[in-house]
Structure 1
Amino acid sequence: MKNYKLNILILLLLLTTGSCSYLDVVPDNVATIDDAFVDEASAERFLATCYSYLPNYGDPWVNPGIGAGDEVWFNEEIVGSDFNSALIARGLQNATDPHLNFWGGRQRGKNLYVAIRDCNIFLENIDNAVDLTDFKKKRWVAEVKFLKAYYHFWLFKSYGPIPIIRENLPIYTETKDVKVYRDPVDDVVDYIVELIDEAAVDLPIIVDSEILELGRITRPIALAIKARVLSTAASPLFNGNQDFASVVDNRGVALFNSTYDPEKWQKAADAAKEAIDLCHQANFSLVNDYDTRTDVSDTIMREAIIRSIVTDRGTPEVIWGATHFTFAQNYQRMMVPLLIQVTSSNPVSQFYASTLRMAELFYTRNGVPIDEDPSFDYNNRYELRTAVTAESDFVRSGEQTAVLHFDREARFYANIAFDRGTYFLDPTYYYVQTRAGELATKRNQGEFSATGYFVKKLINPNNALNTNTMLAYYEFPFPIIRLGDLYLLYAEALNEVKSTPDQEVYEYVDLIRERAGLEGVVESWSQYSSFPQKPTTQEGMREIIQHERLIELAFEGQRFWDLRRWKKAEEYMNKPIQGWNISGKGTEFYNVTTVFTPSFTFKDYLWPIREYERIQNPNLVQNPGW
């Protein structure tokens, strides 16, 4: 009977009302809520409900960080009306029925205001669980406070100023009190940070049992996300952005602070350093080794290390992984090119394609951008070159591929699979063949790369093949935040605080570069770049750190949000999506082709509130441009 009542409760919580805002009103079913907290077991089920609203990070259909940006592209045959993130990438976001509507829970978006309401219900009723120990109660309350903060943060980074829901209103609240206002950005950030600080005190540094509790919120997770929140708030989109100066509600309250505040970067730096120190105490570390089943070259070993950073289940670098959403076989099938002859008609779907701009993003083997390295033949990068035996770790010996695919850093080869490139699945070496009529070209409806590239980074080297299907898929939690991300956030914030970069700024970038087999920033630019002084200025180092983040965190769902917070999305996301001529046979394949020409305008920095919501509540001022 209790389970039945709990299910009814959850159903009622997920429903939205017509005349009243669903943001913060308690449903009129108090007896059912009391049953949900009658004992520890019932309360724990409600705790699981609070966790259930976390986004499915690795799902390209619903994570805008994957599908709504410009680092991966999906062919037109696979993008239907329900591929909401890809539709955003194609400029089809709208105010009538917005895609990935996390405000109202439509178009594949989870209703995060219902999530916040559930968190409030938990916090208000947890004392009713009479058999719950004080120790567990403190921990569970801390977890839910963090989740409440995180749901506010997800809404904030998507929509900007949002209504803060400190507590639920009773069902008998008058209509005028239900029609809430959006709170100013600075107030929203302060509230999120306040909740995280409250939660962190009672969170464990590590979980007691990885088998039973992996994915539960810990103090390192809380502090790492706090650093991300404050870095977002300190960034140009929200810190002194004059473009939003005229956004006021019907009370005349300005929702954005248009005055730049350097102290926000100091807060971000302090938060990142605090998180880093705690993560070190909890034994998080950069991944720097990989246990192969056979002897491999140093080159392949480094590639395997980079591919295992996020794909190993026990990686010491991932602070928070989406254990509620395992990056499973069906998602990995989207990005593995067909590498051998098979008897099955559907062993891979191979439509998760890297764009050409991502192939051009990674450094040369000297650790500088390809257009800054005089030793790299940048102007002829689309011409063909034949691989020699010494290059067989990268390209099949004797085969031709683009100059672009030679003499690149290790992260390029670990992240992207390309025509004639080596694909290592321990202990076997395969070679990608993507020209028309070859193995990795179109097989069934929608099953092909739109650009001729594939994402290799999210495929663990322990995966394997046979002639019938892909097998031994190595499933893992999709990364939400990891130590390498924190290092780069700290370097970024420090660089903004200091007028001139110093050794500490370089240190945290160089730790990432060292793992990739590169020299430090100062050494690389002074020896190999046509702009040797770039690391010595704040502006130059800012560009380097941002470039380093785009490389290091590629295909992890961060680029989309970074480009927005830096106010660089208009610069990047208005460029044509390009790849190779996938219909070309032989060397005709190597003609650069425009796959799609996207449009990203100023209004796209913040998503629209659905017009229906604004009709129900006229106090909700719409975001600019919508």
Structure 2
Amino acid sequence: MKKIKYLIVMLFAITYSCQDYLDVIPDNLATIDDVFANRAAAEKQLYTCYSYLPVPGSDVTAESGDELARPQVFDNNPGVRIAKGFQNTNNPYFNFWNGNNGGTRMYEGIRNCNLFISRIGEVQDIQEFERENWIAEAKFLKAYYHFYLSRMYGPIIINDENIPVSAATDAIAPERSTVEDVFNYVLNLMDEAIPDLPVSLEATKFGKITKAIGTSVKARVAITYASPLFNGNPIYTGFVNSEGAPFFPLTYDESKWADAVTACEEAIEACDEIGLSLYLPSEYVSPKPQSDITLLKAGLRGRVTEPWNSELIWGSAEAAQSNAVQTESMPKLFPHLRNPVRSNRGLTMRIAEQFYTKNGVPIDEDPTWDFNNRFKLRTATTEDQYFVQPGQETANLHYDREPRFYADISFDRGTWYGNGREETDDAWYVNGRFNEYGSRSEAALWSRTGYFPKKFVHIKSKVNSDGSSFAPIRYPFPYMRLADLYLLYAEALNESNATPTSQVYEYVDKIRSRAGLDGVINSWTNHSIRPDKPTTKEGMREIIQRERLIELTGEGPRFWDLRRWLLAKEFLNKPIRGWNVSTQVAGAETYYQVKVLNNDKFGNFEEKDYLWPLATNEIINTPTLNQNPGW
């Protein structure tokens, strides 16, 4: 597959200044003809179209936001540089336009899709239904790559077809299309593809695009198009094309939310058709823990880590990716000479604070939870044994929290169910203070914050007793789960009505109920200092947004959600905090001091960081392009 991919790239390597995003067909097509000589060769070309998908869990979202803080040795990673406000036009980080500095050549992926669509009709030894499926897959991927680019750059160049060598110069020096044109193009192309996508696939084909995937991703596109960044955004007034037309729609259009509602309903129907449902704790059976709370925590971890579970809409076919995420997310649970886990994916304190109290409301809204003293120490009793090691001290922040907090986050003196111990009364406990086996060791092998994303480690993933190796259980890291779709639907419903409807509560409460929480109305009425919050459109918007930030922690949506909501400037200009993990003094008192680790920066010049910059050389080489505002 790689040889074919590289061969195509070589054939397209011509000298026009816009070669990075246009597919110019060479005169001699003999070698490309070989690619479409038969079914087997053509299928390899289809897989090449798939190969440009960013791998979730390690793409731009992993380190560029405010969820993770890596050890200092990672400070030159593209994502960390973006988070610290060091994005630039000279050599942009995660440059998906040109394929540099951590970004893949996404326009090259579009070119390969165009090539496939234009030539697959020539293949003889293929059944017609399969040809239709493959064309639909390539169309969907082409649409998705355009969406991915627009989500980053705003107005982009629509690359819909191949351009012959004999084309006039103005055909090879295009302008960026408006945001309206790009999103309409993407949605229309997805509409073309979806009817011919397969309803379901046999196990060996998981990872390929199905109708449920197509409709669900279309729902995400429609939601993004309706969101504040792309719908009546005044930030980009004056950002216009050569004809003076605004690149961004300056007038808010409420009908886009109604369209998003329809798209979500079509996606939910497609998911229902193949039996997708929220993965419930009752489905965890291997073996069932003795206590209900341990079963709940185990089941909640399974919503991400159980391979091909009932909730997964679209998962990465790069199953090995989950191995990498797991080894970075797992703390050292017992002393050993070797270090088979990397233990460096540190969740920030901001993420720990965003989870609800046990009453299902924010920690600063629950009058029974001592928010002002959340960093003070408390000794765990036997009543806390399912969450914190009895007799040990940890911060108040780690007590009386919702089940997802304990299922998704690992912290010093917190319980760890798994790694060979699957009974309630035989749990591991994380020991992360100075000179303890879970503390800082090598420069790259520790959590800088003191928190680990437990949600990504399969319960049966295990470090051998002698510490010589780590045996992770592979699973497809999610591009999209049903919980994500349900919350998108609730958001679209809320935004398209004057006040929240019963369906808004219904779909948010589906996620909350699975997490062991009461419904929104009851929780806020009985436990919040803002009891009327769920009754207004604005209050419910805040609740839905927080629910997404909690439920999808670490999976990628937060990075894009904060941008489309125009909340990134508010969230990402705050210090990144963690515990005093680097202390060389033993004991809880020195460890449990809040430390500022980074001062992340966003929007140093107005709100420029909402969009990626184009590389300066790209602007120089292609004068018809113009730079994004502020860059």
> Structure 2 length as normaliser, TM-score?
0.95
12-21 vs 256-265, which moves further: 12-21
Aligned to 1:612: 617
Aligned to 2:409: 416
Amino acid at match of 1:44: E
Q: Residues 113 and 141 of structure 2 are in contact (CA less than 8 Å); yes or no, is this contact kept in structure 1?
A: yes
> Structure 1 length as normaliser, TM-score?
0.96
Output the CA distance in 1 between the equivalents of 2:3 and 2:608: 44
Aligned to 2:602: 600
1:162 counterpart SS class: coil
Aligned to 2:431: 433
Q: Residues 65 and 557 of structure 1 are in contact (CA less than 8 Å); yes or no, is this contact kept in structure 2?
A: yes
Q: Residues 24 and 113 of structure 1 are in contact (CA less than 8 Å); yes or no, is this contact kept in structure 2?
A: yes
Q: Residues 12 and 24 of structure 2 are in contact (CA less than 8 Å); yes or no, is this contact kept in structure 1?
A: no
378-387 vs 9-18, which moves further: 9-18
Amino acid at match of 2:602: F
* C-alpha displacement of 1:467: 2.2
Q: 1:14 and 1:105, CA in 2 relative to 1: closer, same or farther beyond 3 A?
A: farther
Output the CA distance in 2 between the equivalents of 1:195 and 1:593: 49
2:163 counterpart SS class: coil
Q: 1:159 and 1:340, CA in 2 relative to 1: closer, same or farther beyond 3 A?
A: same
Q: 1:5 and 1:373, CA in 2 relative to 1: closer, same or farther beyond 3 A?
A: closer
Output the CA distance in 2 between the equivalents of 1:460 and 1:294: 15
Output the CA distance in 2 between the equivalents of 1:191 and 1:248: 19
* C-alpha displacement of 1:53: 0.6
Q: 1:138 and 1:530, CA in 2 relative to 1: closer, same or farther beyond 3 A?
A: same
Q: 1:410 and 1:125, CA in 2 relative to 1: closer, same or farther beyond 3 A?
A: same
Please list, as runs of the form range in 1=range in 2, the aligned pairs for 1:520-535 lying within 5 A after superposition.
520-535=519-534
Picking from 588, 591, 599, the partner of 1:589 is 591
For structure 1, which runs of at least 5 residues remain unmatched after alignment? none
Aligned to 2:96: 102
Please list, as runs of the form range in 1=range in 2, the aligned pairs for 1:57-72 lying within 5 A after superposition.
57-59=56-58, 63-72=59-68
Amino acid at match of 1:335: S
* 1:73 is the counterpart of 2:69: yes
Amino acid at match of 2:593: N
584-593 vs 254-263, which moves further: 584-593
Output the CA distance in 1 between the equivalents of 2:286 and 2:20: 53
Please list, as runs of the form range in 1=range in 2, the aligned pairs for 1:548-567 lying within 5 A after superposition.
548-567=547-566
Q: Residues 158 and 606 of structure 1 are in contact (CA less than 8 Å); yes or no, is this contact kept in structure 2?
A: yes
Output the CA distance in 2 between the equivalents of 1:308 and 1:389: 26
Amino acid at match of 1:481: M
* C-alpha displacement of 1:327: 2.7
Q: Residues 364 and 407 of structure 1 are in contact (CA less than 8 Å); yes or no, is this contact kept in structure 2?
A: yes
Output the CA distance in 2 between the equivalents of 1:7 and 1:505: 46
Residues 125-177 of structure 1: per-residue CA shift (max 9 Å, x gap)? 11111112211110000000000001001101111111111111112223222
Output the CA distance in 1 between the equivalents of 2:491 and 2:96: 29
3-12 vs 447-456, which moves further: 3-12
Q: 1:342 and 1:603, CA in 2 relative to 1: closer, same or farther beyond 3 A?
A: same
> How many residues are treated as equivalent by the alignment?
616
Please list, as runs of the form range in 1=range in 2, the aligned pairs for 1:213-612 lying within 5 A after superposition.
213-288=205-280, 289-293=283-287, 295-344=289-338, 346-425=339-418, 426-427=421-422, 429-465=427-463, 466-584=465-583, 585-586=586-587, 587-601=589-603, 602-612=607-617
Q: Residues 391 and 397 of structure 1 are in contact (CA less than 8 Å); yes or no, is this contact kept in structure 2?
A: yes
Output the CA distance in 1 between the equivalents of 2:456 and 2:598: 25
531-540 vs 49-58, which moves further: 49-58
Amino acid at match of 2:346: A
Residues 498-531 of structure 1: per-residue CA shift (max 9 Å, x gap)? 1011211100000000001000000000000000
472-481 vs 20-29, which moves further: 20-29
* C-alpha displacement of 1:348: 1.7
Q: 1:470 and 1:431, CA in 2 relative to 1: closer, same or farther beyond 3 A?
A: farther
Aligned to 1:141: 135
Q: 1:580 and 1:197, CA in 2 relative to 1: closer, same or farther beyond 3 A?
A: same
Please list, as runs of the form range in 1=range in 2, the aligned pairs for 1:166-181 lying within 5 A after superposition.
166-181=160-175
* C-alpha displacement of 1:455: 1.1
513-522 vs 13-22, which moves further: 13-22
* C-alpha displacement of 1:294: 5.2
Output the CA distance in 2 between the equivalents of 1:513 and 1:603: 36
* C-alpha displacement of 1:472: 2.8
Output the CA distance in 1 between the equivalents of 2:288 and 2:153: 50
Q: Residues 485 and 553 of structure 1 are in contact (CA less than 8 Å); yes or no, is this contact kept in structure 2?
A: yes
Amino acid at match of 2:70: F
Q: Residues 325 and 456 of structure 2 are in contact (CA less than 8 Å); yes or no, is this contact kept in structure 1?
A: no
Residues 424-448 of structure 1: per-residue CA shift (max 9 Å, x gap)? 1141511011111111112212211
Picking from 170, 177, 186, the partner of 2:180 is 186
* 1:47 is the counterpart of 2:39: no
For structure 2, which runs of at least 5 residues remain unmatched after alignment? none
Amino acid at match of 2:237: A
* C-alpha displacement of 1:7: 5.8
Residues 184-227 of structure 1: per-residue CA shift (max 9 Å, x gap)? 111111110111111111111111x21x2011100000000000
* C-alpha displacement of 1:463: 1.3
Amino acid at match of 2:531: P
Picking from 114, 120, 127, the partner of 1:120 is 114
Output the CA distance in 1 between the equivalents of 2:439 and 2:2: 50
* C-alpha displacement of 1:329: 2.8
* C-alpha displacement of 1:566: 0.2
Q: 1:206 and 1:141, CA in 2 relative to 1: closer, same or farther beyond 3 A?
A: same
Output the CA distance in 1 between the equivalents of 2:337 and 2:12: 45
Q: 1:276 and 1:4, CA in 2 relative to 1: closer, same or farther beyond 3 A?
A: closer
Output the CA distance in 2 between the equivalents of 1:529 and 1:281: 38
259-268 vs 332-341, which moves further: 332-341
Output the CA distance in 2 between the equivalents of 1:407 and 1:459: 23
Q: Residues 5 and 35 of structure 1 are in contact (CA less than 8 Å); yes or no, is this contact kept in structure 2?
A: no
Output the CA distance in 2 between the equivalents of 1:244 and 1:121: 35
2:301 counterpart SS class: helix
RMSD: 1.5
Q: Residues 6 and 32 of structure 1 are in contact (CA less than 8 Å); yes or no, is this contact kept in structure 2?
A: no
Q: Residues 348 and 469 of structure 1 are in contact (CA less than 8 Å); yes or no, is this contact kept in structure 2?
A: no
Q: 1:20 and 1:569, CA in 2 relative to 1: closer, same or farther beyond 3 A?
A: closer
Amino acid at match of 2:623: P
287-296 vs 389-398, which moves further: 287-296
* C-alpha displacement of 1:69: 0.4
1:446 counterpart SS class: coil
